[in-house]
């Protein structure tokens, strides 16, 4: 294998929500590029173990950390542990996500508080903790959504709120972190085939026809875009909303 085939060799990557779906594909793709992987999960330890094994097949270190995205103290402890062991964190991918459904009248205060705690407050403070230990050349990738640009149906208030907020944070952090030579970008997928939203699931009849390509995306397609953004030739790409959505927002 040539040296250029491992462009992220010895880089340290942290991926939230890495045990399934898009997050798992990102972990394996970054491992294939040579990065050492730590990822968080909050549900299945068995699924997390499978991702660890998949990453280790690329001869990199891989660690699964059972950390809820809304648990600020646990997230900060994980960051401190990684910095103690590796000295820095080169790549952060904020991929942890949920898909809450509910219109203006059905969302309860508890639902609102939980969503904000995980998807806005938790993400903000976790990114803050990581960025303090990023060297020049660091990369932050937020996984947003086409619903952070368009909201074509009722019942998406919470989800859209979080994804619009993520787009705003991406733009703001690009300015905040430019002096440190750290880039911040947001990938906005359309419908992607995962266990949370399968291509033959209840939402497919609405989502698939809205795409120009008339199909769901694949997790590998999102992971490949992440690999590009964390690569060595993207220092000038920051603050960007990059749609990988099959024309969903076109």
Mean of per-residue pLDDT scores for the chain: 95
Active site residues: 159
Q: Is 182 exposed, middle or buried (0-12, 13-18, 19+ CB in 10 A)?
A: buried
pLDDT tens, position by position, 61-85: 999 999 999 999 999 999 999 999 9
Query: Global pTM?
Result: 0.94
**Which whole number is the average pLDDT over 100-118?**
93
pLDDT at 98: 82
| Torsion sign, CA atoms 195, 197, 198, 203 | positive
Quote the percentage of the chain above a pLDDT of 90. 91
pLDDT at 12: 98
* Structural domains of the chain sorted by starting position, each given as residue range(s) with its CATH number in brackets: 8-244 (3.40.50.720)
pLDDT tens, position by position, 229-240: 999 999 999 999
Confidence of residue 5 (pLDDT cuts 50, 70, 90): low
Supply the angle between the helices 157-177 and 109-116 in degrees, to the nearest 10. 30
Range in 6-10, 104-108, 225-229 the model is least confident about: 6-10
Q: Is 3's pLDDT higher than 90?
A: no
pLDDT tens, position by position, 137-174: 999 999 999 999 999 999 999 999 999 999 999 999 99
């Amino acid at each position: 294998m040539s040296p250029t085939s491992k462009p992220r060799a010895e880089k340290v990557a942290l991926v939230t929500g890495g045990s399934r779906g898009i997050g798992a594909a990102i972990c394996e793709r970054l491992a294939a590029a040579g990065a050492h992987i730590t990822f968080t999960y909050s549900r299945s330890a068995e699924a997390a173990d499978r991702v660890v094994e998949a990453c280790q097949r690329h001869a990199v270190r891989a660690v699964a950390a059972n950390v809820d995205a809304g648990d600020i103290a646990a997230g900060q402890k994980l960051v401190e542990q990684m910095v103690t062991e590796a000295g820095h964190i080169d790549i952060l991918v904020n991929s942890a996500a949920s898909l809450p459904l509910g219109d203006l009248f059905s969302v309860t205060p508890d639902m609102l508080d939980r969503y904000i705690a995980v998807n806005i407050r938790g993400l903000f403070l976790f990114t803050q903790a990581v960025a303090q230990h990023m060297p020049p050349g660091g990369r932050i990738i937020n996984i947003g959504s086409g619903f952070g640009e368009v909201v074509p149906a009722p019942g998406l208030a919470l989800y859209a709120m979080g994804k619009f907020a993520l787009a705003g944070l991406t733009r703001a952090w690009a300015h905040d972190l430019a002096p440190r030579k750290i880039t911040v970008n947001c990938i906005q997928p359309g419908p992607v085939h995962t266990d949370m939203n399968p291509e033959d699931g209840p939402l497919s009849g609405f989502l698939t026809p809205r795409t120009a390509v008339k199909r769901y995306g694949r997790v590998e397609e999102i992971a490949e875009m992440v690999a590009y953004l964390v690569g060595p030739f993207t220092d000038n790409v920051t603050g960007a909303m990059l749609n990988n959505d099959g024309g969903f927002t076109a």
